[in-house]
Amino acid sequence: MPFFQEPPRLGNQFDDDPMLPSWVARHIPEAHVGEVTTELHELGALAADLYPKQLADRLNEPRLTQWDAWGNRIDQIEVSPLWQEAQVLAARHGMVAAGYESRLGIAARTHQFAIVHVLGPSLDIYSCPLAMTDGAARTLMASGNHALADRYVPKLTSRDPAQMWTSGQWMTERTGGSDVSQSETVARLDGDQWRLYGTKWFTSATTSQMALTLARPDGNPEGSRGLALFLVELREGNGRLRNIQVNRLKDKLGTRKVPTAELTLDGTPATMVGAASDGVRQITPMLSITRTWNAISAVSAMRRGLALARDFARRRKAFGALLIDKPLHADTLASLEAEYAAAFCLAFRCAQLLGEPTESPLARALIPIAKLTTGKQAVAVCSEAIEACGGAGYVEDTGLPRILADAQVLPIWEGTTNVLSLDTLRALAKGGAMEAVIAEVEACAAAATDASLARPVEVARSAVRHAAAWVAEAMSAPDRLEAGARRFALTLGRSLELALLARHAQWCLDHPLPAAGLKGHGPRTAAAARRFAQSAIDLVGDASLDDTKLLA
């Protein structure tokens, strides 16, 4: 009988997760832990059931039809079958709605992102429109425009698939996605109606029913302060786009199921959300939400890659043994699991902070730090995960390469690593934020009292102190500060991850058997903290600016 390798299989994505069950047990109010655990267990089974469908749907991509047979411009986008199913599942399982429900109080966001974490990787990046939908709901609620909030938030947060709307977020133009101050789209009043004219260059999920976007009202000054925030309903009742042309869909490295388009707005009717200026400031609630989604999605992507790599290691024999029994392979997987566990803690800490009624200085600082740190980790871990499957990991019809291609967007959209490093400096410059980050690490250190956690705690404390000392000194030299911003932000990210992981390990050690599924979580989580502490946590250091000039 010739040899055929069994492909990796996906198990229940809640039960098999080494972090989520204990995090839920710790952070969901005690009265609701049972019900939420049952819900997540069911979603874990659904995520596994969807995986073969995902593989079968691999080659289906969105299609744009610009003209009908009679020469009418129609610009219709058809999404993949799995995306159509995702739309229903996302509404039904409250992937946005759960974050707005009061039943779990301050833990609503933990509940929501636990659902996203378990189900998201099986929905082919449908998380993209959901993230923007969540961001649009939060932005409208924060806008003070009660009429708009009352009209649209119930649609955006509905659990009824027939009622739920998704929203886009159109910020990027040909002038750029990072420096949006140069946006060229203008807004003109036509009677009482604002109309938008311009080109939007990277509109993800163009099948949404509405979008929030920036445009410069006629006569406003150059720069970002002259931009205003607008809400656009994309279609008439008959489905026709409202003075919007879809020029083409983007041909991307990954996220190929997402219908990302280039649009021309040619008198598109729009509603001004707030004041006629300061649109960037008005859209910042969107940024906090989508960046948290990004961090959670980074962690989920790592989980998916590792779940398949671990299963593969239990099925694949080489050199006389299963890969899982090979010391070097097991060591490699262990380090990746530690990286995942650490990233998980930071992303879910952000989710928890989002549940607070107003954005604290700690949340303002942690969200960009988490986004940039976990985005980089996702690419590195997903790359290792496909390598752990050998050549199969590099062959498209195994489905494995998509994991890496999709992960590569995570450090790019919603603010690149460098843009978010600078945003971290901006957040920390506001009163009390650096102190809040240090206090967070110190609080974790004080709670993680088990002797086996002493080294992780010390590594985290020393790295964060080093980072704080560096930034205090670099403040006086703007070029030095900017050049070192990424190393600084990643140091904060990794030391926060380590401190949060050590603290969670302590909780797991203290609660060994609250549920059968949590057996062994204490020693395992502590091992993750010890292993992560051996990785590079403190990256702070001044590189020579002269060398940079020579090299770059």
Interface residues with ligand MFK (CB under 6 A) are 127-128, 131-132, 169, 171-172, 177-178, 180-181, 202, 204, 224, 280-281, 284, 287-288, 290, 293-294, 297, 413-415, 419, 423
Tell me how far, at minimum, the Cβ of 368 lies from ligand MFK, in Å: 6
Tell me how far, at minimum, the Cβ of 308 lies from ligand MFK, in Å: 20
Closest among 261, 271, 267 to 243, alpha carbons compared: 267
Q: Which is nearer to ligand MFK, 293 or 312 (CB)?
A: 293
Terminal CA-to-CA distance of the chain, rounded, Å? 57
Backbone angles phi, psi at 171, to 5 degrees: -115, -35
CA torsion angle 451 457 461 464 (round to 10): 170
Tell me how far, at minimum, the Cβ of 100 lies from ligand MFK, in Å: 18
Closest among 83, 87, 94, 109 to 42, alpha carbons compared: 94
Distance (Å, whole) CA 342 – CA 276: 43
**Token digits of residue 329:** 């392979």
- Cα separations in angstroms, 529 against 26, 318, 534: 17, 30, 9
Distance (Å, whole) CA 507 – CA 522: 8
| Residues 6+ away with beta carbon under 8 Å from 407 | 254, 298, 301, 305, 378, 379, 382
Q: Which is nearer to ligand MFK, 339 or 414 (CB)?
A: 414
Tell me how far, at minimum, the Cβ of 286 lies from ligand MFK, in Å: 9
Backbone angles phi, psi at 6, to 5 degrees: -70, 135
Tell me how far, at minimum, the Cβ of 227 lies from ligand MFK, in Å: 8
Whose tokens are 């009292």? That residue is: 449
Q: Which is nearer to ligand MFK, 87 or 224 (CB)?
A: 224
Distance (Å, whole) CA 535 – CA 531: 7
Tell me how far, at minimum, the Cβ of 518 lies from ligand MFK, in Å: 28
Tell me how far, at minimum, the Cβ of 242 lies from ligand MFK, in Å: 20
Distance (Å, whole) CA 268 – CA 45: 43
Q: Which is nearer to ligand MFK, 211 or 392 (CB)?
A: 211
Backbone angles phi, psi at 318, to 5 degrees: -150, 145
Q: Which is nearer to ligand MFK, 165 or 312 (CB)?
A: 165
Q: Which is nearer to ligand MFK, 127 or 157 (CB)?
A: 127
Q: Which is nearer to ligand MFK, 37 or 87 (CB)?
A: 87
Range 141-149, long-range pairs (CB < 8 A, 24+ positions): 141/285, 142/285, 143/229, 143/273, 143/274, 143/282, 144/274, 145/273, 145/274, 148/231, 148/271, 148/273
Q: Hey, is 419 helix, strand or coil?
A: helix
Q: Which is nearer to ligand MFK, 208 or 398 (CB)?
A: 208
Q: Which is nearer to ligand MFK, 185 or 525 (CB)?
A: 185
Tell me how far, at minimum, the Cβ of 276 lies from ligand MFK, in Å: 15
* DSSP run (H or E) holding 322: strand 321-322
Tell me how far, at minimum, the Cβ of 383 lies from ligand MFK, in Å: 19
Tell me how far, at minimum, the Cβ of 486 lies from ligand MFK, in Å: 14
Tell me how far, at minimum, the Cβ of 303 lies from ligand MFK, in Å: 14
Q: Is 189 exposed, middle or buried (0-12, 13-18, 19+ CB in 10 A)?
A: exposed
Tell me how far, at minimum, the Cβ of 259 lies from ligand MFK, in Å: 12
Q: Which is nearer to ligand MFK, 212 or 392 (CB)?
A: 212
Q: Which is nearer to ligand MFK, 111 or 364 (CB)?
A: 364
**Token digits of residue 357:** 């009624």
Q: Which is nearer to ligand MFK, 398 or 421 (CB)?
A: 421
- Cα separations in angstroms, 371 against 294, 299, 485: 6, 10, 15
Distance (Å, whole) CA 116 – CA 118: 6
In the complex, which residue's CB is closest to ligand MFK? Answer: 224
